Chains A and B, each alone.
Chain A
Amino acid sequence: MDDLGFIVGSYAVTLVAVGLFAWSVVRRSRRLAEQVPPEDRPWT
């Protein structure tokens, strides 16, 4: 099927882009949290 690469590619682009964004958010948060005491995080 000639279309297969385009179809799978569209799902791969979507999942990889969202996954990388989520990973970068969590990574940045962990780095920042080292400098902020838990009492300053109202959601915890």
Chain B
Amino acid sequence: MTASTATTGRPDRVTGTPFTRALGIVTLVGVLWLSWFGLFVTPADVNQGESVRIMYAHVPGAWLAYLAFVVTGISSAAYLWRRTRSLTWDRIAGASAEIGVLFMGISLVTGSLWGRLTWGTFWTWDARLTTTAFLFVTYVGYLAVRNLGGSHHQRARRSAVLALLAVLEIPLVHFSVELWNSLHQEASVAGNTDVTMDGLMLFTLFLGVIVFTLMYVWLLLHRQRALALQDLVDDTGLDLAIAARRAEVG
């Protein structure tokens, strides 16, 4: 029996709570619902044909990456502000950035598959695609910087500064289709007052955004708690190492 099971009796309650378990169940049901609607129920698009089904995974993935990176930026600002300085903000920032990189990667891959069907190529150095790839690489760099070592507060400070710079890229990515001549289409729903999309397609797109957001909250809570555990283990290890060194010297 591990220490965890000996003390709690339930190994599955490491980072979970009744709320996260309920959230997990709702999210799983939502994923099944979204997959069913996206693959079988919604109609094919007049112009894109069947490939429009990829949009129900691609668009929410991109939305979630934006959301996650904005949360990383806000949490980083909260850490840097003296009144709210807490390592919890730093861990939320780190956890959110990891999830953002995951979903940005998903968005790049699903967008690439859609591009092959619609444009005839997996990749082109288009403004939206290039700025998105740059954003992805920036946050991979942010995660690398988080792992450079030092104390928890050193890690938090340097990564918070980087996060505040990196978040400025998001408007550039979002408005790249308007700033440059882009192959990528402009926003069909967000910021558009004249939405002409079929009702079922629009519903499925919104369902995707909601389901992916629930997924994000679940992942964020668990990952943030895992990072808190990691910090506690690191602190304990450091205390033991200092005690051992003192014993050697004494």
A and B found bound together = yes
Residues of B within 8 A of A41 (CB): 14, 225, 228-229
Residue contact B229 to A21, C-beta cutoff 8 Å: no
Residues of B within 8 A of A38 (CB): 7-8
Chain B at the A interface: SS class = helix
Cα–Cα distance between A15 and B219 once the two chains are bound (Å): 14
Known interface pairs A6-B117, A11-B57, A34-B2; A18-B229 also in contact (CB < 8 Å): no
Residue contact A29 to B225, C-beta cutoff 8 Å: yes
Interface of chain B residues 185 through 243 with chain A (CB within 8 A): 215, 218-219, 222-223, 225-226, 228-230, 232-233, 236
CB of B15 closer than 8 Å to a CB of A: yes
Residue contact B17 to A14, C-beta cutoff 8 Å: no
Cα–Cα distance between A7 and B15 once the two chains are bound (Å): 34
Q: What is the distance, in angstroms, from B42's C-beta to the closest C-beta of chain A?
A: 12
Residues of B within 8 A of A6 (CB): 51, 54, 113-114, 116-117
State which size class the interface on A falls in: 20 to 34
Cα–Cα distance between A7 and B3 once the two chains are bound (Å): 45
CB of B152 closer than 8 Å to a CB of A: no
Cα–Cα distance between A18 and B106 once the two chains are bound (Å): 9
- Write out, one digit per residue, whether chain A residues 5-43 have a CB within 8 A of any chain B CB (1) or not (0): 011111101110110011001101110111111101101
State which size class the interface on B falls in: 35 or more
Residue contact B51 to A22, C-beta cutoff 8 Å: no
Interface of chain B residues 1 through 58 with chain A (CB within 8 A): 2-4, 7-8, 11, 13-15, 17, 31, 35, 38-39, 49-51, 53-54, 57-58
Cα–Cα distance between A30 and B58 once the two chains are bound (Å): 32
Chain B positions within 8 Å of A, measured between CB atoms, are 2-4, 7-8, 11, 13-15, 17, 31, 35, 38-39, 49-51, 53-54, 57-58, 61, 98-99, 102, 105-106, 109-110, 113-114, 116-117, 215, 218-219, 222-223, 225-226, 228-230, 232-233, 236
Chain A positions within 8 Å of B, measured between CB atoms, are 1, 3-4, 6-11, 13-15, 17-18, 21-22, 25-26, 28-30, 32-38, 40-41, 43-44
